[in-house]
Amino acid sequence: MITRRLYRSLDERVGSTPLLRKSLVKVFPDHWTFMFGEIALYSFVTLVLTGVFLTLFFEPSTAEQVYRGGYEALSGSRVSSAFASTVALSYDVRAGLLFRQAHHWSALLFVAAIVLHLSRIFFTGAFRRPREINWVVGVTMLALALLNGFTGYSMPDDLLSGIGLRIIYSVVLSIPVAGSWLAMLLFGGEFPTAQLLPRLYISHVLLVPAAFAALISVHLVIIVVQKHTQFPGPGRRDRNVVGSRFWPAYTLRSVSLLLGVLAVAFALGGLVQINPIWIYGPFNPAKATSPAQPDWYVAWGDGALRLFPPADFRIFGRLVPSPFWPSVGLGTITFLLLYAWPWLERWRTGDRAFHHVLERPRERPGRVAVGAYALTFFAVLLVAAADDIIARLTRVPVTALVTALRIAILVLPVAAAVIAYLITNALRRSTGSGVTELTREDMRAGLTPHRARHPAGREPPLVPPPDQVVQMWRNPAGTWRWRWRGPGEELLSNEAYLSRDEALTAARVAFAGVRLEQVRPPAGVPLPPPRHRHPAATRAAGVTGWLALFLLGRRRRPGPPDGPPAEPGEEPPEDPGERAREPAARE
């Protein structure tokens, strides 16, 4: 009762009912790959929740203090306040280690979900017009996730994170002309400095999360305005969305996913140890730890630094140190290509049409080859970042591993791109549904180059599929209904229509280009009552009829000459046609 009154009060002031009704019936596609974006969102929620708890106990300061805590091996040592507060979180604060490790695991899951989400968008062409802005927003969130993950990883002031900061300081110094100025600006002086940890803290807990909140809001607003993409299939066109309504099906599924992400993050935080800084010890510029690897999402940069040969050279008299190309150069080129890819592909294919239905990866072998090359390239760099661990486990000299990985970084990405192109091109030309159904003839056909160009601003023409048909019929009650029939499956309209024209229009919107035919009502098909609004003429006739009955009632019951006037008749009840029609599960 209280909730209902509060909602009515809010609706009277802001008129929220139309917006709420529209939101509750919004349709979302059901494919499982769309969950990657939601996993990233809920990982961000987990990061915020656990991060708020950690900020209550963490001290972002390099001021020295004598450690007096639960970790006896460190008792009496002089360490920084940041290191001491992190160890205290792990040993002295109730549930502190659980929240700290859950926070770290959530960060790894967050970046992984973003990478998978962007990969799904890339391979299915979801970045095409009109979604270029959302692609740019997603790439920016990936860059911010890498930045914020590294700043959070570096704040405990332990020996391992200190080595990473020292590497970043050297990378910034390697930038020609502006390197020394940028290092002074970002680090506050020559590394290590007392100003660095407070700056990392403000960036990690305030600036980047605020930017994330803004970008996530923009991302969701664009999805609502442009509607969701969907995979090709029966009834799926650029003008509709087939799937589950936001309430209740999609809401229950989404809430379950949120609880699942929280459960996984806290299960990993409680059962799997990560980043035990008390083992590494406090940061000391004169010391180093080996083997030493950063988190996976920045390990590609470490691997590139390990593989790139020492090659200093000068440009216009300016020294370009060897750390510049595998770090700043590689990262800049990678993100510039990611930002520009929608326009590069549009220029290559000439496709300027709006798209709301995704492409299967096999339809774009060239795009799949580029993606396979990039993923393999960065996978080799991830392996290279762990060359010291591999050398210890396999007893192979590090120099031999570096040589082998340098050859692999040149050969494996090209091989992966060629294989991916041949397989996807063969799938595009075959009638099989998967790789296991490819024949030798299909693989030979895959050697033929694939070219796909569309006239600027025009979509490829719709070809009516010969094995599909939309059947319409008239019910005994006078309403109309239709169903789509294809090879081995069929879809039934989830509502009846008052006229043949309404049913015909709905069928053409849902199945553009499919042959239509009129048949007799099939036996055993449930026929729901129509839920459409009555025409304006019907409503006007109803109101006129009630008014006539009201006037007749007044004539038959005249009041006394000098007495009070007769009571007016009752207002006509609500016309059932005024009830809001329940939309179908198709926008």
Phi/psi of residue 490, nearest 5 degrees: -155, 155
What is the pLDDT of the chain when averaged over all its residues? 84
Mean pLDDT of 515-544: 60
State the Cα–Cα distance between residues 490 and 467, nearest whole angstrom: 12
471: closest CA among 497, 498, 509, 503? 503
Instruction: Report the pLDDT value the prediction gives residue 7, as an integer from 0 to 100.
Output: 67
Instruction: Report the pLDDT value the prediction gives residue 451, as an integer from 0 to 100.
Output: 58
Instruction: Report the pLDDT value the prediction gives residue 548, as an integer from 0 to 100.
Output: 66
Using the predicted structure, report yes or no on whether residue 466 has a pLDDT greater than 90.
Answer: no
Mean pLDDT of 161-184: 92
Query: What band does 581 get if pLDDT is binned at 50, 70 and 90?
Result: very low
Per DSSP, what are the bridge partners of residue 517? 471
State the Cα–Cα distance between residues 528 and 221, nearest whole angstrom: 35
Query: What band does 574 get if pLDDT is binned at 50, 70 and 90?
Result: very low
Instruction: Report the pLDDT value the prediction gives residue 98, as an integer from 0 to 100.
Output: 97
Mean pLDDT of 4-16: 72
pTM of the model: 0.77
Instruction: Report the pLDDT value the prediction gives residue 345, as an integer from 0 to 100.
Output: 94
Instruction: Report the pLDDT value the prediction gives residue 545, as an integer from 0 to 100.
Output: 66
Instruction: Report the pLDDT value the prediction gives residue 465, as an integer from 0 to 100.
Output: 63
pLDDT above 70 covers what percent of the chain?
A: 83
Using the predicted structure, report yes or no on whether residue 122 has a pLDDT greater than 90.
Answer: yes
294: closest CA among 170, 384, 161, 204? 161
Instruction: Report the pLDDT value the prediction gives residue 225, as an integer from 0 to 100.
Output: 87
Query: What band does 339 get if pLDDT is binned at 50, 70 and 90?
Result: very high
Query: What confidence tens digit (pLDDT) does each residue in 123-161 have?
Result: 999 999 999 999 999 999 999 999 999 999 999 999 999
Query: What band does 452 get if pLDDT is binned at 50, 70 and 90?
Result: low
More confident site: 48 or 15: 48
> Residue 289 in contact with residue 161, Cβ under 8 Å?
no
Instruction: Report the pLDDT value the prediction gives residue 428, as an integer from 0 to 100.
Output: 83
Mean pLDDT of 448-469: 57
Using the predicted structure, report yes or no on whether residue 584 has a pLDDT greater than 90.
Answer: no
Strands (E), 186-324: 244-245, 313-315, 318-320
Instruction: Report the pLDDT value the prediction gives residue 131, as an integer from 0 to 100.
Output: 94
State the CB neighbour count (10 A cutoff) for residue 172. 22
Instruction: Report the pLDDT value the prediction gives residue 583, as an integer from 0 to 100.
Output: 40
64-66 vs 78-80, strand pairing mode: antiparallel
State the Cα–Cα distance between residues 365 and 424, nearest whole angstrom: 5
Per DSSP, what are the bridge partners of residue 472? 482, 518
